[in-house]
Amino acid sequence: MNNPLTEKLFELLKQVSGFIYPNEIEVHWGILVVVYPYLTGLVAGAFILASLVKVFNVKEVQPAYRLALLTALAFLLIAPLPLLLHLGHPERSYEIFLNPNFTSAMAMFGFVYAWYLMVVLVLEIWFTYRKDMILWSQKERFLMRWIHKTISLFSKDVSEKGAEFDKKMVRGITIIGIPSAFLLHGYVGFIFGSIKANPWWSSVLMPIVFLFSAIVSGIALVILLYMVITPLRGEKIDIKCVDKMASFLFYAVIVDFSLEMLDFIHRLYESEESIKILGELVMNRLFISLGVIQVLLGMLIPLALMVAIKLFRFDEELRKLLYFVSAILIQLGIFATRWNVVVGGQMFSKSFRGLTVYKMELGGVEGFLMTLVLLILPLVTLAILIKILPPWDSAKADSVEGGPGYQKLATD
Amino acid sequence: MERRRFLGRFFANVAAVTAVSGFFRRSFAGSKDYDPTKHYYGMGIQVDKCIGCGRCVEACKAENSVPKEPFFFRTWVERYIIKKNGEVTVQNIDSRIEKSNETFAEKDILRSFFVPKLCNQCENPPCVQVCPVGATFKTEDGVILVDDERCIGCRYCIQACPYGARYLHPEKEVADKCTFCYHRITKGMLPACVEVCPTQARIFGDVKSTASPLTRFKRMNKLHVLKPSLNTEPKVSYSGLDGEVR
Amino acid sequence: MKTIFKRIPDALLRILVVFVVFIAGALLIRYLLPASLKDTAFHVQSTVEREMAKPIRFAGSDVCADCHTEYNTKKGGYHKNLSCETCHGAAKEHAENPTETKPSLPRMREFCSGCHTYNASRPTGFPMINPVAHNPMKQCATCHNPHDPKPPTAPQECQGCHGEIARTKALSPHALLECTTCHTVPKGHKLTPRLVKPSTPSERGFCGKCHSKESTYRGTPKIDIVTHGEKYMCWQCHYPHMPEVE
C-alpha cells in the first residue's frame, strides 16, 4: 500500500504549482466521492419528477411515473457503494448509525438517507404496486409468484376501498417525499457548503445549487430512460409525455443556470481573498471540465436546444432527437459539475498560494473502471426492478385481457 | 535466624507490594497520577527565532512513528521569501529532500523568515464538529485526539481543517495529526518538537499555570493566530507573524 | 380493539407491522450491544489511555545531566539553550540501557551545516558560514567545541555573524565605512548578542556630520539638514546599509 502510493505522490509533487501545505498533496476525495452525489442527485430528481404527477396532477407525465420511481430506487440502492469503497475502514461504517456525532452533517445524512429510502421511496413504491402485485401473483409461476407475494407482505386485499386507500397513501407519502427529496440532496450540498475551511465549497448557495442540478439531472435521466426503453419494448413513445418532462427540465435548467451565474457573479463582485487562487483554479485546472463540459455542453447548448424547440415548432422526430441529445449532454454536464465541486475544491491549497493535480487511475478501487461499474450497476438494478415490478401495461396487440401476457396496472 | 526471618519478610513484602501495585497499574493504566482537569495546554511560536533547521520535523517523525515520506507531516516548517517587487514565494522545509532549486539573489529579498506549523488544537475545532462517528474529540486538557479504533477513514476532518494539519495515515488508514505529544506532556515532559528546537522558537506550556514559559510569552509579545476570521480559536499563538503567512 | 383493527386498512396494517418489527429489532440490538461498542465516554477514555501508553523516544534534556555532568559546560556557551538530543538524537533507549545503546555522535560537517549554513531567511545575527568556503574538509569540532562553541578567532569585524548586511553594504556607497563608524559595539555583544546590543545613531545630526550642507567631507551627497525630510530620522527613509536616494 505504501510504495505505489508514495510513488504516485512523488510524481504529483513535481506537478504542483506554487505552494501547498505538505499534507495537501494527497487528494482525499476522488472519483468515488464524485460519483456519489451524482447518483443521489439522480434519485432526488427522478423522485421530484414522479411527484409532479401525484401532487401537482401533471397527467401528461403519467406514462413515466412508475419508471421514475423505480429509477430513484435503483440509484438509491447503489449510491452507498462508492462511499463504502472509499472509506479507510468500511467494516466500521455501522458506527455512523450506532454512534453518530450529532454535529456532523455526514452522520445526520445517514439518517436522512435511511428515512428517505425506507419511509418515502420504498413505501411509495409499495403502495403503488401493492394491488398489482397481488393480481400478478395470482396468475404467475412459482418464482415470480412468491417474490410478489412476499413483497406485497402476503396481502390479499384487492378491493376498491383498498385501492382508494393506496392512492391516498401514495399522495400523502409524495407530499412528505418532496421536502424529503429536497432534504436528501440539499444535505449533500450542505456537507460541502458547511466547510468554512474551503472557500470553493463554503457557500450558502451550495445546498440549493446541488438540489437544482440534481433535479435537472434526474429529469433528464428519466427522459433518457423513457426514450430508450419504450422503443425497446416495441411501444410508441408518448410524445406529449416527453414534451411535458422536457418542459419541466427546461424550467429546472433555467433555475440551475441562474443559480450558478449568481454564485459566479457574487464571487467576482465580492472579490474576497480567495478569488485569485480560485480564478487560477478555474483557468488552469478546471477550464475544460467547467468551461467546456459543465457550462457550454452541459447547460448552454441544452438550453439553446430547448429554447429553439419552444420557439420553432419542430416536428416530432426532430424534437425527440433534440431531447435525447440534450438529456445526454446534461448528464455529462452534471457529472462534470460534481467533479468540479469535489475535485476542484481540492485542487487548490488552503494557503491560497498553489494548485495541485488529481490523477485518476485506470484500475483499482478508485479507478476509472470501477467508476464505470458503479455507473452501470444502477442501470442493471433498474433492469431487475423493471422485471420484478413492471412499470407499464404490457397490453400487446396479440394478448388478450386476462391472458398470460397481459399485465394491466391496477392503480394510477 | 533473625536475618533470615527479616529477609524472608522483606522479600514477601516486596512481592506483595509489586503484585498489588501491578494490579492497580493494569486497571488504571495512564490515569494513575495524572488529572487532566488540572492542565490546559497551549503553544507559542516565536517566528523571529526559527532558523528553519527542521529538527522539529525530524524529531516529531521519530517520536510519533510518522511515515518518513514527505507527504505526511504532523508538523512542518514553511519558508517565506518576500521580494522587493512584492512577489511572495513560500516553500516547505523538509530536511530530507533537496531544498528548492530556486536560488534567490540576496539583494532582491525584502523580508524572509521561517514559520513552523502544526495542529493548532483549536478551542472551536471544525474537525471535531464534522467527524461522523466522533472519533476525533477534545480532551479535558485541551488536546484534540483521534481514536484510531473508531475512525472510519472518511477524511471529512481532513477536508474541514483550515490549516492542513491532518493527513491519512497510509498504513493505519485512519486520520492522524499532531497530539502535542500527549504521551509526553501527560508525564510532565515537553513535546518532541519543543524539546529539540535549538533556538527555543517553540514554547510549550500549561495555560493554567502562572509560572510557565508560555505565560511569559503571552505577556511579552503581541500575539497572532492563523486564520482568525474562521473562528477556530487556535491554541497555538505566534509572535512576529507576518501578514503574508496563511 | 378488534373494530379498530378492522377499520385500519389491510395494507397499512401490514406496513405498520413491518415497521414495528424493524424498530423493535433495532432497539433490541442497541440494548444488547456491549458498552464498549456504544459508549462514547468509554472510547474517549480508552483512546486517552492508548495515547498515553505510546512509547517515548526522546528522554528530555534533564535526564542526560544525571550521568553526564561534564557536559554542563554547555550550559554557559552559545549552545546553552539546546537539548542534548537536538544534536544527539533520541536517547530514551540509551538512558534506560546506557551500555547497550548509544545515541548518535554527529561528526560530519553536513550536520552542523544544517543549522549554520548561510540562509537568507535565518534571523539576522545568527552565526552562519558558507560551508564550501569555511575551512573545507575539516571537522567542525576541530575548532569549535560543540558543547561550548566559540569561534577560535573572533569573527572578522561584524561580518562573521552579520554577513548579509556586510555584503549588502559592500555594494553600496557606504562600502568604505566601518561598521563601528555608526555603531558602538560594547564588549558583551560578542558573548551575549541578543542581550547586549550595539548602539545606533539617535539624531539627524549624526548623518549630518557627512551629509549636511555645512559638512566639510567631500564626495558625499549634501542636503539641508534642517529642512530635508521634515521631522523624520534619516534612516526612516534611507536604508543605511544600502542608501538609495528616492
Coil, strand or helix at B236: strand
**Is position A16 within any domain?**
no
- Give the pLDDT confidence of C204-237 residue by residue, as tens digits: 889 989 999 888 888 888 988 888 888 888 888 8
Q: Are residues A397 and A266 in the same domain?
A: no
Is B130's CB within 8 Å of A103's CB?
Answer: yes
Residue B219 to residue B233: CA distance in whole angstroms: 18
- Give the pLDDT confidence of A166-181 residue by residue, as tens digits: 888 899 999 999 999 9
Is A155's CB within 8 Å of C33's CB?
Answer: no
**Is position B119 within any domain?**
yes
**Is position A207 within any domain?**
no
Query: Which residues on C lie below 8 Å from A156 (Cβ)?
Result: 10
State which residues form the domain around A286. 237-358
Is B162's CB within 8 Å of A196's CB?
Answer: yes
Coil, strand or helix at C119: coil
Give pLDDT, residue B32.
64
Query: Which residues on B lie below 8 Å from C115 (Cβ)?
Result: 51, 53, 55, 198
Q: Are residues A354 and A382 in the same domain?
A: no
Q: Are residues A68 and A38 in the same domain?
A: yes
Residue B126 to residue B158: CA distance in whole angstroms: 10
Query: Which residues on B lie below 8 Å from C167 (Cβ)?
Result: 106
Q: Domain containing B168 — which CATH number?
A: 3.30.70.20
**Is position B74 within any domain?**
yes
Q: Are residues A392 and A346 in the same domain?
A: no
Give pLDDT, residue B240.
93
Q: Are residues A168 and A269 in the same domain?
A: no
The three cell numbers of residue A410 are: 391496477
**Strands B236-239, B41-46: parallel, antiparallel or unpaired by DSSP?**
parallel
| ipTM associated with this complex | 0.90
Q: Which helix (H) or strand (E) covers residue B81, if one does?
A: strand B75-83
Last residue of a domain, one of A318, A343, A358: A358
Q: Are residues A45 and A140 in the same domain?
A: yes
Query: Which residues on B lie below 8 Å from C194 (Cβ)?
Result: none
Q: Are residues A371 and A336 in the same domain?
A: no
**Is position B60 within any domain?**
yes
Q: Which of C40, C56, C61 sits opposite B183 (nearest CB)?
A: C56
Name, in order, each residue with C-beta under 8 angstroms of A320's C-beta and a sequence gap of 6 or more.
Answer: A227, A237, A239, A242
**Is position A216 within any domain?**
no
For residue A272, give how far its alpha carbon lies from the nearest alpha carbon of chain C (Å).
Answer: 30
Q: Are residues A326 and A373 in the same domain?
A: no
Q: Which of A98, A118, A127 sits opposite C11 (nearest CB)?
A: A127
Q: Are residues A47 and A91 in the same domain?
A: yes
Mutate to test the interface with C, among B60, B63, B178 (most CBs of C within 10 A): B63
Query: Which residues on A lie below 8 Å from C40 (Cβ)?
Result: 99
**Is position A202 within any domain?**
no
Following DSSP, what letter does each residue of A218-286 receive, concatenated?
A: HHHHHHHHHHHHHHHTTPPP-HHHHHHHHHHHHHHHHHHHHHHHHHHHHHHHH--TTHHHHHHIIIIIS
Give pLDDT, residue B208.
83
- pLDDT of residue B100 exceeding 70: no
Structural contact between residues A22 and B164, judged by C-beta atoms closer than 8 angstroms: yes
Q: Which residues pair with B113 in a beta bridge?
A: B80
**Is position B245 within any domain?**
no
Extended strands (E) in A291-373: 354-355
**Is position A42 within any domain?**
yes
Domain total in chain A: 2
Residue A41 to residue A339: CA distance in whole angstroms: 13
State which residues form the domain around B96. 37-239
For residue B106, give how far its alpha carbon lies from the nearest alpha carbon of chain C (Å).
Answer: 7
Structural contact between residues B158 and B182, judged by C-beta atoms closer than 8 angstroms: no
**Is position A232 within any domain?**
no
Q: Where are the alpha helices (DSSP H) in chain B?
A: 2-27, 55-64, 126-130, 156-160, 182-185, 192-196, 213-220
Cell 557536559 belongs to which residue?
A: C71
Q: Are residues A325 and A371 in the same domain?
A: no
Judge whether A93 is closer than 8 Å to chain B, CB to CB: yes
pTM more than 0.95: no
Q: What is the DSSP letter of A411?
A: -
The three cell numbers of residue A249 are: 427540465
How many residues are listed for chain C in this entry?
246
**Is position B21 within any domain?**
no
pLDDT band per the 50, 70, 90 thresholds, residue B19? very low
Nearest CA in chain B to C242: B107
HSE, side-chain direction, 13 A CA sphere, residue A58: 20
Q: Give residue limits of the domains in chain C.
A: 181-246
pLDDT band per the 50, 70, 90 thresholds, residue A395? very low
Query: Which residues on B lie below 8 Å from C125 (Cβ)?
Result: none
Mutate to test the interface with B, among A29, A89, A191 (most CBs of B within 10 A): A89
Q: Which helix (H) or strand (E) covers residue B114, if one does?
A: strand B109-118
Query: Which residues on B lie below 8 Å from A355 (Cβ)?
Result: none
Mean pLDDT, residues B112-137: 96
Judge whether C34 is closer than 8 Å to chain A, CB to CB: no
Structural contact between residues A76 and A116, judged by C-beta atoms closer than 8 angstroms: yes
Residue B75 corresponds to which amino acid? T
Is A98's CB within 8 Å of C9's CB?
Answer: no
Chain C residues with a Cβ under 8 Å from any Cβ in chain B: 40, 43-49, 51-58, 60-61, 79, 81-83, 85-86, 89-90, 114-115, 119-123, 126, 164, 167-168, 171, 242
The three cell numbers of residue C240 are: 543605511
Domain total in chain B: 1
